[in-house]
Structure 1
């Protein structure tokens, strides 16, 4: 009895937690705790080499199905609570993107809703987490009911009140488009490419494809402002060599406006210092101070603009100029991983703090929602 009591007090709770975690992570049935073969394995482990728990019956320490069910619910609520804190922080920093999708099983005649979260943490590391893949219980898939279902799923993480700060990445389904029309939406690029290829290959001949693919690409792809900003924030694409002068000017203005907005927020919140003129002056070499690459794209100052806004706009412009004139050969991270711009922005966090924050926001948005498709493939 003393052995059983000692085991119960020290091990049983841990064993229950580990079994619940194993069942969830490896998609095992809860009834496995009552499986005779599983019990035999536990019994063998207890009696190994005549150990201190040799006389304990495995049935006395294995949790029941109802105990495992309660433990799974407890762990799920605990994880949601801890994850909710992280996701809400990302949403408040506008570094959170959500990929929603609906899927229907034509054989079982049921539908599912899936949500995947993408966010960049304080170390400039991108994370993707499946928030849910659950039955869609609304009576139909009209826009109102789709939004209701998405909001209910987000509310479990405390995100329903921050939905206006989230960027949604989804396909071009009419119900999803309508449901999210009041929020920022970026459409999934692979879905568009797939549609282009289907239209092309089902048409007559490869010659037709060669002739019409460029027109189809232009017709079906509508570049979002976020695409231009992302291109500039990629240090290897920052000069937009293949863009027209008008497109380049528009893109630089977009970045400057977003940086100015971040500076205003930092000034209001008193959490971060706006980049000082002394820091900017010490960063640029004397030769490069004479002429700015973006000078030709500057707008005339609005006479009605306040002095404070003018200073912020000027500082935002100067921070962009520092970035555009930066010598990339001195950036070690770009040599280590050319495909991860977040490493570059982590390295430049102290030199270009506001653009680094902008990079976290932009690169938290995935180019596609295909990560969610994998969740449906196992439903």
Structure 2
């Protein structure tokens, strides 16, 4: 019996070692003496500053207590601190949440760690291999990795990689082509509305306009770019649209109507204070001769002169013609016979619609000159032997200068109109330079170039004003006194007559002078009043007398932004004139990319999101019936046309020498 009693008492005492939650809460309310609290040995988290483990008779229970509200929480060591974290959020008596000092995975990364050259080289090698494999496996062009859009895409991939690591398959992140196409449409609608809202705030702007015809369908496209000034951004250039030309013909009045409709869509309108930059064909000059100011594309002038000197027979450059007409068939032969792999440098074929293609063809040909003859057949070897390499070598530096000037005048990130006249004069200076060992063919070419440069490249008033607004060219020392006086009178007339810049005359702060007169003398009230040397001068005269200096590559608009307080009228004039681009390159490059996209990538309508986006854009402006009418008009026989249409179309062709334009 004593044995059974002992066993019964041991089982009862064992059962009493652990209490349920209700019993523990009752003991807490009674402040029972059997209760005690302590931090567990495994409690390293900061949450244990606010919580303690519950002990009864020095036996650890499965509960923890909150020090603020005395609530009992079910807890075992394997649960961690999750239950405490949840309770801390809703604890009514907690004054503040516990600090987040729990070690995180980011603490293992070095925020300011430097990438070693070996690490960078290793990853670049891996990326290069992946890029090469992508171009081969997916038949992608090598230049797919260039551009702001691709860089932005890579940044998004980086962010996804930092977040997911290797937890998911990369295929789960890549969108379907149809999804991309639909998203392009949504982005177009969003950005189109944002652009319209932005254009409402623009008061002074210039536009760049160009046209291009797609060879296969005969549909013509118009590209329109916008250039304006913002105080916090400087010069801003935006491409408004590339839109199909849907009017019945290409007369000057219809071209102007079409452009006005595009600008009105963006709440813009051409006035006499706005400027249009276009090519210099008769059709474009006639389209923008009223209610606006047209500025000719300088690069178009320059490259047309260069093209005529090489192609037109009446240019009297016989040796240059022979050189061009001999090299071009040889380069064509290499490109068609797949012999390029045997050369150290790839030959470039001349393309009429691409600037600098003459220089590119001659330069690559000269680099490969020693290796070419052995790769040619008998007929081409005979032509190759007639090439004058001395003429080719002497011609290349002059062509390179033209390329450099064209690229300089094509810059759309900074004001560049003020460099048109200096670049033109630089070409005349180099062409006029004499040398005893100059080749006779080069002399003929430069003489032709000088004659047509002076006659076919006119200088407009806007060029004079922009040039004088540069501190290094304000005196126009390279011009005659008559031309210098004309340029200065233009600015004076603008400052005097333009109502938008009729603010009170301000002057640059003059240097201070010491006044030694006695103002307290008997006759001091009768003294002659001192005259300020700059008081009778206007802003322009003070600007001419100043010793301001500025590098030719500096941003001229930023310079005048710094001078706006001293010469506000000149600043307003600079803000109006310097936003005019020197060329239409920005729109031409956009149309050229569309041309290349149509030729290479848009054969499958449903597979290319850009094509779908273009169709969506054009659907609101150009019906299928009007497109079909356009195709029929361009491809119908001349006999089926009316006499008026026949004369109009052929007169347009006779007056237009630019195959890149639709007119």
Equivalent residue for 2:199? 84
Alpha-carbon spacing, 1:105–1:67, altered in 2? closer, same or farther (3 Å): closer
Structure 1 distance, partners of 2:231, 2:504, is 18
Query: Would the aligned equivalents of 2:501 and 2:569 in 1 still touch at CA under 8 Å?
Result: no
Match of 2:538 among 318, 321, 335: 318
Q: Is residue 344 from structure 1 mapped to residue 564 from structure 2 by the alignment?
A: no
Alpha-carbon spacing, 1:235–1:141, altered in 2? closer, same or farther (3 Å): same
Match of 1:223 among 459, 465, 488: 459
Equivalent residue for 2:223? 114
Alpha-carbon spacing, 1:191–1:49, altered in 2? closer, same or farther (3 Å): closer
Structure 2: where are the runs of 5+ without partners?
A: 1-147, 151-160, 320-440, 514-530, 595-663
Q: Give the match's secondary structure for 1:321.
A: helix
Cα offsets for 1:131-170 (capped at 9, x unmatched) = 111111112111111111101110111113x443320011
Structure 2 distance, partners of 1:197, 1:72, is 42
Cα offsets for 1:245-301 (capped at 9, x unmatched) = 111111111011112234x4355xxxxx5234xx55x42678xx9989xxxxxxxxx
State the shift of 1:108 in Å: 2.7
Equivalent residue for 2:276? 168
Q: Give the match's secondary structure for 1:219.
A: helix
Structure 2 distance, partners of 1:215, 1:107, is 39
Q: Is residue 252 from structure 1 mapped to residue 482 from structure 2 by the alignment?
A: no
Equivalenced residue count is 289
* Mean Cα deviation higher: 67-76 or 228-237: 67-76
Larger Rg: 2
Match of 1:353 among 565, 568, 579: 568
Equivalent residue for 2:208? 99
State the shift of 1:80 in Å: 2.5
Alpha-carbon spacing, 1:64–1:241, altered in 2? closer, same or farther (3 Å): closer
Structure 2 distance, partners of 1:187, 1:197, is 17
* Structure with more contact order per residue of length (Cα contacts < 8 Å, sep ≥ 6): 1
Alpha-carbon spacing, 1:72–1:343, altered in 2? closer, same or farther (3 Å): closer
Structure 1 distance, partners of 2:187, 2:274, is 29
Greater percentage in helix: 1
State the shift of 1:116 in Å: 0.9
Structure 1: where are the runs of 5+ without partners?
A: 1-24, 28-43, 52-56, 268-272, 293-313
- TM-score, structure 1 as length reference: 0.67
State the shift of 1:49 in Å: 9.0
State the shift of 1:242 in Å: 1.0
Query: Would the aligned equivalents of 2:225 and 2:238 in 1 still touch at CA under 8 Å?
Result: yes
Query: Would the aligned equivalents of 1:235 and 1:341 in 2 still touch at CA under 8 Å?
Result: no
State the shift of 1:213 in Å: 1.8
Q: Give the match's secondary structure for 2:538.
A: helix
State the shift of 1:124 in Å: 6.9
Alpha-carbon spacing, 1:78–1:283, altered in 2? closer, same or farther (3 Å): same
Match of 1:283 among 488, 506, 510: 510
Query: Would the aligned equivalents of 2:207 and 2:227 in 1 still touch at CA under 8 Å?
Result: yes
Equivalent residue for 1:309? none
- Report the RMSD for the aligned CA atoms in angstroms: 3.5
Query: Would the aligned equivalents of 1:80 and 1:156 in 2 still touch at CA under 8 Å?
Result: no
Q: Is residue 327 from structure 1 mapped to residue 547 from structure 2 by the alignment?
A: yes
Q: Give the match's secondary structure for 2:454.
A: helix
Q: Give the match's secondary structure for 1:328.
A: coil
